[in-house]
Structure 1
Amino acid sequence: MSENNQQTIPEEMLLQAGFGPKRGKLRVFFGFAAGVGKTYTMLTEAHECLLMGKNVVIGYIEPHKRPDTNRLLEGLPQVPLKQYQHKQLTLYEPDIDRLIQLKPDIVLIDELAHTNPIGARNKKRYQDVDELLNAGITVYTTINVQHIESLNDIVEKVTEVEVRETVPDTFFQHASLRVVDVEPDELIDRLEQGKIYADENAKRALKNFFTPEKLDHLRGLAIQKASNHINQMNGGRKRVQSKLLTIIDDRLPKMAEKCIRWTARLAQGVGAEWTVIQVRSLDDTPTEVPLAERLGAEVINIEADDSFETIVEYAKMTGASDIIMGKQVSQKWFQKLFVED
């Protein structure tokens, strides 16, 4: 074909044909509480990448009155933020369209678990990050252990605080994780010196969230989560042959949620496949189990009348090694699972 006859293929057609950009890489700076140094470490690494010739830009950094962290903002290009009006407030969010248009090598997006304001293109910030990754852009981001979906119930029990902003575990499956860790005593010292929160917020945090016992628990959860993730990334999980089967009753939603999160943590820890079977009555329509799906499970709905036979057959067919159910479940057919073959 001559140069005059060459045709330019529209980018949209290339994307539809599967010739889109290679997905960007996700690097997560992970800690057990605010103030451990996640943003500081992320900015430090960004400067190192800049010195190596990478095109690095700041998409969003949470504004903190932390001098050491703020000094690291100098020298890093910042893309102007997008404004949203909410009641009497002006909220600032990363401009995803502009970032995709600029297509830098690396974008820094702080606070991954953040909920976007009304009017934003996505409900959650991790969905914004997903768009950047799909556009072929590598993203550096930060998150604390209390915002991991599968650990939500444990965190609430430990801290006595309900954390509403969470990120699905499946979002981290292929992420590079950098753990940012300090001793709990050092973190409390930082808080008392006003390096994390202003005076009133610091006093409140010391009484509630930032106690030595709670921080020790959160640190342990973070280390365990990071260890499981590293094992997964190194392929260590492939040797495990466990197949977990979780049985839930949609009439017991709280127990169902607890079973799902417990099984998710076990599956991640041992590298097992897992399935959730939701038992429903004949009159009920199948309900979605978004939590199980977000945590990486296959979800199956069955009717209560034939549930015993179906579960036994499914367990045999798939080679399920463990069956998990809640303590409140007392239906006769559940008991039959353990006395009949």
Structure 2
Amino acid sequence: MDKKRANLEQALNACKKETTGLLKVFLGYAPGVGKTYTMLNEANRRFKRGEDIVIGYFESHGRQDTIDQLKDLPQIPLKDILYNNITLTEMNLEEILKRKPKLVIIDELAHTNAPGSKNRKRYEDVLEILNCGINVYTTVNLQHLESLNDVIRQITGVNVNETVPDIILEDSEVVVIDITPDSLRNRLQRGDIYKEPLIERSLSNFFRKGNLTALRELTLRQTADEVDEDLEEYKINHDIHENWSTVERVMVSISSSHQSQRLIRMGSVLSKKYKCAFYVVYVDCTHRFSPADTPNKLDTLNKNILLAESLNATVKKLKGRSVSKELVKFAHDTHITKLIIGHSKRTTIQKFFRGSTINKLLNHSKNIQIIVVPYE
């Protein structure tokens, strides 16, 4: 991978320039709701009006109705990449940039590119295309949003490895493609989504009605959040200063444990729900009984910080002899209303000499809701 390639933050900042292309995301709560079909349908209407549109990447999953929507849309030939003596096909980023259409259709935003590609993730390709002034239509399912990773796993039992930073959707136009869970299950039973023998297995697993209902509700809430952002922008543009919503501030206390990632995602979901400030805080404890840092611990802590930054958290490093004292002071100074912390992992001896961080937080914090999350 090219080391000079801009990181995500630099790419997103570049996308805010006036010369940047516009991103439109067709969002669904599950496979088969009609994201690609709707995206191609709209692209065809614009193509008939004479707009310069090409397909950069298209995935039909064998669905004939979707394939029929290709019609006369021109396609950029895919690129062959040889990996371990196997030829893989990927979107041809270089050819798209060379062709420079007004609009390019790129399916499956959360896709991971084959080794040897310029960028590791397809959303990074999309950012590069947008930065060149090309508009993009793309598709993604709700379960691929980074902040909802733990929630999706809890609902469906499926661990989604391919994720997209939420900030990409926040800076785009989002179109929710919605049908009822019963209608989606009917599509599946007719063979319109998957072919046998996947149908029965899917109906009893990911496509259970309870799963689909919960995922649909999450998607509609996501849409409501986008509408709330539009309302806030309207208030600013029209100089409206009345407080139309409750002001919350969410804070997450993390450590060098990989379990902190669960807390960070939970905090991100809460901050998005309340449209509020989101802080991720860690304390460099100088107490003599505090466990010493190791290279592995520092590496895990750095990964936790990177995740927090990718979810738009304000990361703060504190230092002091007492973890609870530093957390309480920061929480009060910043007017935190909700504090998320993991269950204490101190040994009996550590608790004897240093006490319980959770108990100290409960005793000394005022008007702060303490959310204690048990570690898995």
TM range (shorter): 0.7 to 0.9
Which of 153, 175, 178 is the aligned partner of 1:178? 175
Q: Distance in 2 between matches of 1:244 and 1:157?
A: 22
Q: Distance in 1 between matches of 2:210 and 2:364?
A: 46
* Alignment map for 1:1-341 (pairs within 5 Å): 22-235=19-232, 239=243, 240=245, 241-251=247-257, 253-254=258-259, 256-281=260-285, 283-284=292-293, 285=298, 287-288=301-302, 289-303=305-319, 305-328=321-344, 332-340=356-364
Deviation at residue 301 of structure 1 after TM alignment: 2.8
RMSD: 2.3
Deviation at residue 46 of structure 1 after TM alignment: 0.5
Q: Identity, % of aligned pairs?
A: 37
**Contact kept in structure 2, 1:82 and 1:94, CA below 8 Å:** yes
**Contact kept in structure 2, 1:33 and 1:218, CA below 8 Å:** yes
Q: What is the CA deviation profile of residues 60-90 of structure 1, one whole-angstrom value per residue up to 9, with x for unaligned ones?
A: 0013211111111121111111111233532
Partner amino acid, structure 1, of 2:329 = E
Q: What is the CA deviation profile of residues 33-76 of structure 1, one whole-angstrom value per residue up to 9, with x for unaligned ones?
A: 11110000000110122133321110000132111111111211
Q: Distance in 2 between matches of 1:142 and 1:122?
A: 18
| Structure 2 counterpart SS, 1:268 | helix
5+ unaligned residues in a row in structure 2: which ranges? 1-13, 237-242, 287-291, 347-354, 366-376
Q: What is the CA deviation profile of residues 193-245 of structure 1, one whole-angstrom value per residue up to 9, with x for unaligned ones?
A: 11111211223212221111111111111111121122123327985532221
5+ unaligned residues in a row in structure 1: which ranges? 1-17
Scaled by the length of structure 1, the TM-score of the pair is 0.87
Q: Distance in 1 between matches of 2:342 and 2:328?
A: 17
Q: Distance in 2 between matches of 1:266 and 1:292?
A: 13
**Contact kept in structure 1, 2:252 and 2:281, CA below 8 Å:** yes
The farther-off stretch of 297-306 and 33-42 is: 297-306
Partner amino acid, structure 1, of 2:65 = D
Partner amino acid, structure 1, of 2:61 = H
The farther-off stretch of 107-116 and 272-281 is: 272-281
Q: Distance in 1 between matches of 2:357 and 2:151?
A: 30
Q: Distance in 1 between matches of 2:264 and 2:320?
A: 19
Q: Distance in 1 between matches of 2:204 and 2:129?
A: 39
Q: Distance in 2 between matches of 1:21 and 1:267?
A: 29
The farther-off stretch of 310-319 and 23-32 is: 310-319
Partner amino acid, structure 1, of 2:266 = W
Partner amino acid, structure 2, of 1:335 = N
Deviation at residue 140 of structure 1 after TM alignment: 0.6
| Structure 2 counterpart SS, 1:325 | strand
Q: Distance in 2 between matches of 1:249 and 1:266?
A: 20
How many residue pairs get aligned? The number is 322
Q: Distance in 1 between matches of 2:68 and 2:364?
A: 67
Deviation at residue 329 of structure 1 after TM alignment: 6.3
Partner amino acid, structure 2, of 1:45 = E
Scaled by the length of structure 2, the TM-score of the pair is 0.79
Deviation at residue 281 of structure 1 after TM alignment: 4.8
| Structure 2 counterpart SS, 1:234 | helix
Deviation at residue 21 of structure 1 after TM alignment: 6.4
Q: 1:128 to 1:180 in 2, by over 3 A?
A: same
Q: Distance in 1 between matches of 2:197 and 2:321?
A: 58
